[in-house]
Amino acid sequence: MASSSGRMTRATVLGLAVALGATLPLGATTTASAATITQTSAETTAQTTAVAAQRVRLYELVTKDGGFFYTASESEKRDAVAKHGWSTTRTPLYYLSPAPFAGGKPLYRLRWAKKASYIVTGSVSERERLVTSGAFRYEGVLGYAPGSAGAGGDVKVFRLSNDNKWRLAIESHTRKILADEPGWKLDGPLLYQFGEG
């Protein structure tokens, strides 16, 4: 009986050792995978931080047609003023990223076909619908905005419209426009901006 019990114990220990030995490489692989994931996560965070450090100011200009034009390019702003006679407003706007980043979403700029009036959207389906209508020409990505507060967005931005004019405004300025400037209506929220450059 003792020898049978001894064989059983040895068989159990041997089985346990084989089972542990079989799981060790798997455990080592899991640890390596975790290290790779951690390294990738750290690289993504570093890239996001580097992109966020390259923030550019968003400018609003009024066109000669009374429309609103948005740019995050200093040279494009200068050209709009010098070549077209457009004027920069004092509308409080903040910062975008010139490049994609984790949690960021592109903002698309479109020009109305009839006059120098521009609309900005973060929606691909709205962009496509407007272009397909023939009433708008797609001009490209204005910049990349935080899609949420968690992606670094400190300032919520809204879009307003008034008879084929569209404009962007931060929350406090949106309330002021709606209260003091007749004809403007709220289209809705349009992502976020970075509060600091």
Chain centroid to CA 141? 11
Task: Give whole-number Cα distances, 151 to 14, 73, 115, 144, 191, in Å.
Answer: 52, 23, 35, 11, 10
pLDDT score recorded for residue 197: 66
Task: Judge contact between 87 and 188, C-beta under 8 A.
Answer: no
**pLDDT tens column, 12-39:** 333 433 333 333 333 444 444 444 455 5
> Does residue 56 surpass a pLDDT of 70?
yes
Q: Could you tell me whether strands 166-170 and 185-193 are parallel, antiparallel, or unpaired per DSSP bridges?
A: unpaired
**pLDDT tens column, 99-153:** 999 999 999 999 999 999 999 999 999 999 999 999 999 999 999 999 999 999 9
Tell me, yes or no, if the pTM score tops 0.85. Answer: no
Q: Which pLDDT band holds residue 54 (cuts at 50, 70, 90)?
A: confident
Distance between CA atoms of 14 and 185, rounded to whole angstroms? Answer: 77
pLDDT score recorded for residue 31: 44
Token representation of residue 153 = 């967005």
